[in-house]
């Protein structure tokens, strides 16, 4: 089984005693508490994978999902961290570090898929359907076929990468319309925030739900120093790539330009936060 390097790991101090997993279980070393192992076996193990276009580690990703959480600040909404456990070690990655690991822009609207934020986006479902040349069929579905290639590529990015799902890629869901509306209207979205909340949504699904963000988890494992040499790995083909035009719709091009003009600027949440955690 993989070995964890000493760097970037934190042990939980002062916690109450918990029941450890059975020592003879093949995954025992990855779980601090038996209840997390049970959650993994009942809700996560064996789920259908929403495959990325790169190598990924399905078993280790499901193990990380079992203890996934988000730490937020009531005083600073833009300050949040991803938290999970492997074995007895707790890993906490601040949003500024996640932005660098995932190469996604930080800042903008704190938007959860399909939920319109307080800011006025000028969004209206019928107006959005007209913009994307969409109509609702007799089954109350919105087929994506009438859309042009650019919009269909955006839909692919949303349903396979940013807000992945197992099925229904031929139809446009309400949350897809909201995300596409924001992207084509240059509304800046805090993508790490959206993705973390979508991860929690996936974690809460039953076994029929899929496991997404596999390549993003691979980046996390590499960044925190997990030895993956002996871990179960799968490799997908790389025929489909997200080009600069798609990243431009996400605001990535503008973000990189701003960083070049002002390299000293970095999101740090509030004075008490740490971007290296």
**pLDDT tens, residue by residue, 106-142:** 888 887 766 766 566 788 889 999 999 999 887 888 9
Instruction: State residue 87 phi and psi, 5-degree precision.
Output: 65, -135
Instruction: Look at residue 9 in the predicted model and tell me its pLDDT.
Output: 41
pTM of the shown model: 0.69
d(CA 223, CA 93): 10
DSSP annotation of 205:
S
The residues pairing with 83 across neighbouring beta strands, listed in sequence order, are 69, 92
Q: Of 194, 271, 219, 231, nearest to 54 (Cα)?
A: 219
Enter the tokens of residue 177.
């319309």
Low-confidence ranges of the chain (pLDDT < 70): 1-16, 51-54, 113-114, 116-120, 208, 236-277
Instruction: Look at residue 202 in the predicted model and tell me its pLDDT.
Output: 87
Instruction: Look at residue 80 in the predicted model and tell me its pLDDT.
Output: 93
Question: pLDDT tens-digit profile of 57-74?
Answer: 889 999 999 999 999 988
Instruction: Look at residue 119 in the predicted model and tell me its pLDDT.
Output: 61
Instruction: Look at residue 84 in the predicted model and tell me its pLDDT.
Output: 96
Instruction: State residue 71 phi and psi, 5-degree precision.
Output: -100, 125
Contact indicator for 236, 214 with CB cutoff of 8 Å: no
Instruction: Look at residue 99 in the predicted model and tell me its pLDDT.
Output: 93
Domain regions of the chain by residue span: 10-104+207-237, 125-184
Reported in sequence order, the residue ranges of the chain that DSSP labels E, i.e. its strands, are 10-11, 55-56, 69-72, 80-86, 89-94, 234-235
Instruction: Look at residue 272 in the predicted model and tell me its pLDDT.
Output: 35
Q: Of 179, 238, 193, nearest to 76 (Cα)?
A: 193
Contact indicator for 212, 202 with CB cutoff of 8 Å: yes
CA 89 vs. chain centroid, Å, equals 21
What is the number of H-type helices and E-type strands within the chain?
10, 6
């Amino acid at each position: 089984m993989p070995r964890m390097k000493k760097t970037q790991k934190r042990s939980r101090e002062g916690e109450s005693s918990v029941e450890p997993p059975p020592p003879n279980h093949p995954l025992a070393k990855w779980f601090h508490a038996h209840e997390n192992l049970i959650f993994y076996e009942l809700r996560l193990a064996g789920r259908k994978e929403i495959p990325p276009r790169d190598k990924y580690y399905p078993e280790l990703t499901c193990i990380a999902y079992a203890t996934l959480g988000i730490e937020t600040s009531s005083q600073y909404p833009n300050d949040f961290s991803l938290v999970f456990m492997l074995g007895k070690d707790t890993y906490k990655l601040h949003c500024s570090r996640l932005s660098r690991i995932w190469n996604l822009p930080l800042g903008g609207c704190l938007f959860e898929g399909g939920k319109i934020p307080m800011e006025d986006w000028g969004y209206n479902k019928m107006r959005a359907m007209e913009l994307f040349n969409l109509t609702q069929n007799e089954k109350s579905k919105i087929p994506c076929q009438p859309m042009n290639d650019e919009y269909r590529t955006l839909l692919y990015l949303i349903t396979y990468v940013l807000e992945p799902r197992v099925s229904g890629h031929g139809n446009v869901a309400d949350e897809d319309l909201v995300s596409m509306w924001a992207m084509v209207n240059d509304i800046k979205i805090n993508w790490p925030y959206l993705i973390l909340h979508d991860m929690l949504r996936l974690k809460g699904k039953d076994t029929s739900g899929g496991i997404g963000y596999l390549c993003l988890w691979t980046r996390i494992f590499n960044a925190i120093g997990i030895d993956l040499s002996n871990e179960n790995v799968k490799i997908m083909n790389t025929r489909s790539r997200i080009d600069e035009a798609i990243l431009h719709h996400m605001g990535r091009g503008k973000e990189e330009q701003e960083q070049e003009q002002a390299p000293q600027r970095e999101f740090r949440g509030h004075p008490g936060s740490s971007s290296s955690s």
